[in-house]
A and B are shown apart, each in its own frame.
Chain A
Amino acid sequence: MLIVDQLKRRDPHLQLISLGVLAGMFTLIAGLWYHQVIAASGYRADLEDQTLRSVRVRAIRGKILDRNGNPLADNRPSYNLNVYLEDLRRNFRYEYTNSVRKEFYRENPGKRLTRSAADLLQREARYRVVSNILYQVSSRIDQPRILMEEDFHRRYLNERTLPLLLLKDLPFPQVARYLETCSTLPSVALDVEPTRYYPYGSAAAHLLGYVRLDKASTEDETFAFTYPLVDFKGVKGLELALDEQLRGRPGMKMVLVNHLAYRQSEEVWQTPEPGTNVVLTIDIEIQRATERALATVRPDVRGAAVVMDCNNGDILAIASAPTYDPNTFVDGLTPEEWKSLNDEELRPLFNRAVYGAYPPGSTFKIVSGLAALEAGVLNPNQIYRSKGFFQIGSRGRHWKDTAGAGDFDFRTAFAFSSNPYFQEYGLLAGPQKVVELAKRFGLGEPTGLVTRQEASGYLPDHTRLRKRDGNRWMDGDTANLCIGQGEITVTPLQMAVLTSAVANNGKVLIPRLIKELHPLDAPDAAHALPAGQVRKEVNSRPDHLALIRRAMLDDVEYRDRSGRRASGHLAAVKGMQVCGKTGTAQIRSGGKDYVTWFVSFAPYSNPKYAVVVVVEEGASGGGTCAPVARQIYEALQKRDNAPKRNPQEASINSTPESLSRPADLHRLRAIESANISHLLLHRHANLVGVSHGRDTARPYLDVEFRIFDVSSSDVHAWDREHRLQSVSFTAFIRQPFQIT
């Protein structure tokens, strides 16, 4: 052995040197062992800290569709123009050495450039390069823009790793112009990002709610992102209630950066999982008809309408007026928009159909009449002589009556909405009975809407009757209650449930909004939510309910011998046998603030639909709300008579998840046949295919550029004058690819 040889030779000098060399080498090995084996994980973490940046990749938000598959909340591609800073490093350097620094020396001859001054000049050079690019691009697409200097420096400092957004959400003509004029520009790319879109604008806006771009991570996300980036977050309505399902799961991208924090390469660590598609029970045609009908009252009408299938509880339409356009929230509101949305009087963001708790007025006579019938104090055929007002005792409270004086039996009292009649019999039945029945109809408690966004209204406790302010319950309160005033408020949705219960012989249904959930990763695993769930039974005698239904039919169709028509006659639709009850309630006693009602179902013989209309400050239930209901019934009638559509026809799952499927040959061939001279695909552009060339099949069509907007499965094309041409063409779908 080499070492032993030395030590054997009795050469103390060399022995000492050998030992010294050995000790030195062992010191090194020990040090290396410590750093490379014992402490290695710490250094690896340091390495990752300085080289890897995690970026949240937005998942495609699930769509909200109506019962026929029409998208109510959809995603559309938003074309953003980004500049990739890491590609510009050479330009930055060139600009600095050949322009900015030279200028400095020219202006300050003989001066030495300090380090900090050089940093400032480099900053200036970077700004010049990027602002020049933006100017070039934006002027070529006829939208000249100037790069905000401070904003640029801030973004360069903080988000150098990410592409720098120059122009957001370019409209199609500008996209075409960009591709025509700027596609050779270096380091600039057109990137596509899904953005929220509500095709029907303000239709069902209160139900759908709206989204906001939000940076905050949600609790269920497993990563802390260096760059969370903004994602859509439901703020109101279904977008909020179903946010978790709609949102999907964001993906994560790891960007490898160099020591200057420029992007070197990136790798998708987790692909985003698109959100679940939600199919509602809403029928968009009925919804729009309902909103149109409400708008006919007056331009800035405040009110609500609910259309419900009275046999299974499906909500076909739920409208609140005034409404708003949820599209305006997607990119953020201007202060004026926000101000108008928060108007004190109109309160457009307030969903009156579920949150509006109003006194039911005469529509409550359905309950008070039924209570008197059940209590056995009311003989429907017995004539009651009304004095045209009602008074308790000789000097008690006094109620006026629009029905006037006269003789009423149950049918006529109901049809002309005689207050004294129902007050008399209600007092006989007793307030406990009335309140208890109202409770059986589900008033005073939530209807069980899946969004849980609803008010419960107000109903006193029938076991210990007290007024809201804690005062003792008086007969006057009972008389008030019987005509739907005072100690009671209900929401339009609750009234729809109540009317349905009357129509379907006593089943208080849970209103259903969501028909199915379609998880995109497993389209076959569509999850249907049960229909026709009964919350409770009213347990009234069928003949009593039949009597009420008959009376409600009279409320629309009855005409007495003098030719006077019942209060709801304006709701009548031929062939529909609408049954209803009008109501007008004072919000404050003695005030002028009226809320007018019309609750109804149809047809009489075989009830299918319940329609409830409320209008604040209407003239009267019959005059204001009944015509609205008529228009809704007309739309429903049209729907019934229309040829039955296959409910799934509009292929709920056609997009957007198919975007991520590889392009199939057939589709590619369709493109080839169009003699496309080249196919440009931009970074991240998994949603857009761009072709340049002339369509051989249609030589007469001077189409130069074509953009395949795959999110809507059709092709938009422009001719040289940027006139939009619609070309029937198979959409080209490109598999998402990564930068390597």
Chain B
Amino acid sequence: MFEPTLNHREPRLDWPMWLAIFALMVIGTAFIYSTTSVYDTVGIWRRFREYSWSGFFGWLAKQFYFKQVFAYGLGLVMAVVFCLFDYHKLARWSLVIYWGSILLLVAVLIEGIGTTAGTGARRWIDLGFFNMQPSEFAKLSLVIALAHFLSRPVEELRLPGVFFKAIGMTLLPFLLILKEPDLGSALVLIPIGLMMMYVAEVPKRYLKRLVGYGAVFIGLLLVNVLFAPAEWQPLEQYQRERLLVYFGRDFASQYDTPVERQRAQARQRDKTYNVDQALISVGSGGLTGKGWRQGTQNALGFLPSTVAHNDFIFSVIAEEKGFLGSVLLIALYTVIMFTGIKIASQARDRLGRLLAIGVVVIFFSHVFVNIGMNIRIMPVTGIPLPLISYGGTSVLCTLIAAGILQNIYIYRRFY
């Protein structure tokens, strides 16, 4: 009874995933509107009626939610484009894609090309109509390149040279992104590399050793960050402080003078402020939330308006829609991730399987880190919530990744 019949038509589109993606896009638009148009009393409809056409669209083009919708549209087009050809064709271009993204990562570090967009880190390339974030592309290109590289026969993977090459492919963008600096985005590359090697069936002993050394390194780093004086730190000061916040330790060390101590305390208040306010937003939402646009944390400015619509948008959703809304959001992401795993298992070959797993890991690490930092189980990093956080590059990459999943699904095994 499981034998496929000849006239049986297999579905070409993976409906549950796309429904979840659409739902997330609707939620994203609604909450970017909620966070950025708090004091817009005029409303879209009245502006539409009263403004001239050019005036109306000029105004609309400046609205964050409209820009986001535009990015959704562009992303969907890209997703369709990435479905038009077999993913094997994509793999053939993987080296170009990989080195292209490396080139972008180098370019972003050059003053004049890269822009800080008013923050402390040089992470964006100003394209005029929007700021592109190359580190987002780097994640996807690493997935494509690694999938292509690791899809060689299993026997070859036993060679240490191949293993070290794979590590090198991961570390190159990692270091470049670290240089921006953007520790959060850089760290996302590690699980991508590890998981893809794991699924590609690189010998376990290699992986174990790698994870072991990595753990020792991270352990030493943490000990250094937490207990050594400030001048011995390898990390940027703000990165170290974020980790200190995460582990609930004082900024000031016992060697500091009272003045330094006072400054460190003031800085600590500033640094913990966002997390504290995000937690108040999430917690005060309760079971059912206060209702759309009824949250006060963002409206009254306690949640800083610079982060409310991107990195901390989850806290706004949690405040306004409560625990139930948060769980719904997580459920939607879970649907996408399990669809990805299913597609991986149905993939025609190892390339498709690896691509799909890479995409799943991107999704998982983003969702886990972003929501985790809102409830303080993860340190604060600039990692967006896929499809929800405001940001064109992120939306584009996420939808391209979904398109790749769909591509693998189309060319899956039908048995």
Contact = CB atoms under 8 A, between A and B. Distances in A.
Interface residues of B, number: 44
Nearest to A26: B330
B246 interface: no
Interface in A30-46: 31-37, 39-40, 42-44, 46
Interface in B199-221: 199, 201
A24 B341 CA distance: 15
B75 interface: no
A28 B323 contact: no
Given A28-B375, A258-B301, A37 B334 contact: no
B323 A256 contact: no
Interface string A303-327: 0000000000000000000000000
A14 B337 CA distance: 12
A21 B377 CA distance: 16
Contact of B296 (A39, A42, A256): A256
A36 B338 contact: no
A740 to B, nearest CB: 12
A47 B323 contact: no
A31 B326 CA distance: 11
B272 interface: no
A6 B199 CA distance: 14
B184 interface: no
Interface string A9-30: 1010110111011101101110
Nearest to A16: B198
Interface stretch (B46-54, B94-102, B222-230, B282-290): B282-290
A14 B287 contact: no
Interface in A350-401: none
Contacts of B326: 29, 32, 36
**Size bracket of the A interface:** 35 or more
B186 interface: no
A3 B339 CA distance: 9
A47 B318 contact: no
Contacts of A5: 342, 345
Interface string B328-350: 00100111011101101100000
B195 interface: yes
Nearest to B339: A2
Contact of B282 (A11, A14, A16, A32): A32
The CB with the most chain B CB atoms within 10 A, among A22, A25, A32, is that of A32
B218 to A, nearest CB: 18
Contacts of B327: 29, 32
A687 to B, nearest CB: 30
Contact of A51 (B287, B300, B341, B345): B300
A259 interface: yes
B323 A33 contact: yes
B296 A51 contact: yes
A33 B286 CA distance: 9
B342 A39 contact: no
Given A44-B286, A51-B296, A14 B330 contact: no
A24 B333 CA distance: 12
Contacts of A40: 283-287
A16 B286 CA distance: 33
A24 B342 contact: no
Contacts of B330: 25, 28-29, 32
A264 interface: yes
Given A33-B323, A36-B318, A257-B300, A13 B198 contact: yes
Interface of B: 16, 195, 198-199, 201, 279-280, 282-287, 296-297, 300-302, 318, 322-323, 326-327, 330, 333-335, 337-339, 341-342, 344-345, 357, 360-361, 364, 367-368, 371-372, 375, 377
Interface of A: 2-3, 5-6, 9, 11, 13-14, 16-18, 20-22, 24-25, 27-29, 31-37, 39-40, 42-44, 46-47, 50-51, 256-260, 264
Please list the 4 inter-chain residue pairs (A to B) with the smallest Cβ-Cβ separation, ordered nearest first: A43-B283, A36-B323, A258-B300, A259-B301
16 contacts: A2-B339, A14-B344, A17-B360, A25-B330, A35-B279, A35-B282, A36-B285, A36-B318, A40-B284, A40-B286, A42-B283, A43-B283, A44-B284, A258-B300, A258-B302, A259-B300
Given A24-B364, A25-B367, A260-B301, 20 more contacts: A2-B342, A6-B338, A6-B341, A6-B342, A6-B345, A11-B345, A14-B199, A14-B345, A18-B341, A20-B364, A21-B334, A21-B337, A28-B377, A29-B326, A31-B372, A33-B323, A34-B375, A36-B283, A36-B326, A46-B280
